[in-house]
Amino acid sequence: MSEETKLIKNKTGLPPGSLVHVGNRKTEKIIITVIDYDNSEFTETICKNIEDCFHLKDKKTTTWINIDGLQDTKMIAKLGEHFDLHPLLLEDVLNTHHRPKAEEFDDYTFLTLKMLGIGKDKRSITSEQISFILGKNWLISFQERPGDVFDSVRDRLRTSMGNLRKTGADYLLYRLVDTIVDHYFVVTDHFDDITEKLEEDALKNPETATLQKIQKRKKELVNIRKAIFPVREAISILEKDTKLFKVGTKRYLRDVYEHIIQLNDTIETQRDLLGNIMDLYLSGVSNKMNEVMKVLTIIATIFIPLTFIAGVYGMNFELMPELKWKYGYLGVWALMIAIFVGMIFYFKNKKWL
């Protein structure tokens, strides 16, 4: 959360469209992968310079340019110039703290999303910004670092499986978005598993560490929500786009839209659940406290009267007839044991023992 706004500081006062990479540099080298295909042809190349792929823009085949790494602002400026992209759009691509959104421009449509993943410690949630610019027959995607979840799509393109090669760039974009959204389910599912374990902890080990875990979960859920919730509106905007999306593809976008609604439901449920876990935690703390108090009460309630009796016969009055009775001492022990046993029964009866 803090991370999200922190780096924007560097930009305050700069004119709009100033290309500054806002975010942590997550990769050393920028990799440009270009896939160009139609129903019959397929080429996949890694370009050294961005200029190498410019000639594909006007080719009739579908071209997918994928750029991993955002730090080379000059290269992105060149790309923007060639594809005639609005400076604000490029600014949004480079600002990795941007809210997911879609925006329609004259000749292209812009979409920026978060790719969610599970961290190496199997506990934290990672987030990477992925932006798409969809043109008539080209798609440019920007990622913060190499390595993504699109390999299944690439394989299908390579092997010409399914109807991916027969359809255009709009359908390719849908497939990539669908893959990202499917991955959201993996993340919320994982989140769900961890939360379930927390539930047990909260009641049985209501320690400060448990509380901190609950708080950490809450924050993560807020971040997940911030990544997923705005996608709903973004998909709506794409659905209304009449130029670049074919009617057939829109039915598929509708499907993605429904998945986002289902994800939002799941997130709300998780939020409720974390609220319940907090209740369990507080209840667990309170139970422990009650147990402490019970122990104190039982011990004190048993021994204070006994000590009193012992105190009575420790008095030094000259005339205390009991002290001289033959069975006085035994009698006092008997009395004390009777009180002890009586108390135990009393507590059993109260279900404190």
> Is position 247 an interface residue for a second copy (rule: CB under 8 A)?
no
Quote the CA–CA distance of 42 and 47 in Å, as a whole number: 16
- Is the Cβ of residue 54 or residue 97 nearer to a second copy in the bound state? 97
Q: Which of residues 146-185 bind a second copy (CB under 8 A)?
A: 149, 151-153, 156, 161-162, 164, 175, 178-179, 182-183, 185
Q: Minimum CB separation from a second copy for residue 29, in Å?
A: 26
Please select the residue that binds a second copy; options are 46, 251, 342, 345, rule is CB under 8 A: 251
Quote the CA–CA distance of 353 and 347 in Å, as a whole number: 6
Residue among 211, 182, 351, 226 at smallest CA distance from 277: 211
- Is the Cβ of residue 48 or residue 240 nearer to a second copy in the bound state? 240
> Is position 261 an interface residue for a second copy (rule: CB under 8 A)?
yes
Q: What is the phi/psi pair of residue 5, to 5°?
A: -100, -15
Torsion of CA 202, 208, 212, 214, to 10 degrees: 10
> Is position 349 an interface residue for a second copy (rule: CB under 8 A)?
no
Q: Minimum CB separation from a second copy for residue 42, in Å?
A: 17
Quote the CA–CA distance of 226 and 220 in Å, as a whole number: 10
* Distance between start and end Cα atoms, the chain: 48
Contact status, residue 43 vs residue 61, Cβ threshold 8 Å: no
Quote the CA–CA distance of 179 and 189 in Å, as a whole number: 16
- Is the Cβ of residue 56 or residue 153 nearer to a second copy in the bound state? 153
Q: Residues 259, 265, 268, 273: is their CA dihedral positive or negative? A: negative
Residue among 103, 120, 121 at smallest CA distance from 112: 103
Q: Which of residues 287-306 bind a second copy (CB under 8 A)?
A: 287-297, 299-301, 303-306
Binding residues for a second copy, how many (CB under 8 A)? 109
Q: Which of residues 314-343 bind a second copy (CB under 8 A)?
A: 314-320, 322-324, 326, 328-329, 332
Please select the residue that binds a second copy; options are 124, 126, 212, 242, rule is CB under 8 A: 212
Q: Which of residues 134-153 bind a second copy (CB under 8 A)?
A: 149, 151-153
- In eight-state DSSP terms, residue 11 is G
Q: Convert residues 265-284 into a mask of x (bound to a second copy by CB under 8 A) and - (unbound).
A: xx--x--xx--x-xxx-xx-
Q: Which of residues 13-42 bind a second copy (CB under 8 A)?
A: 13-16
Please select the residue that binds a second copy; options are 39, 43, 124, 215, rule is CB under 8 A: 215
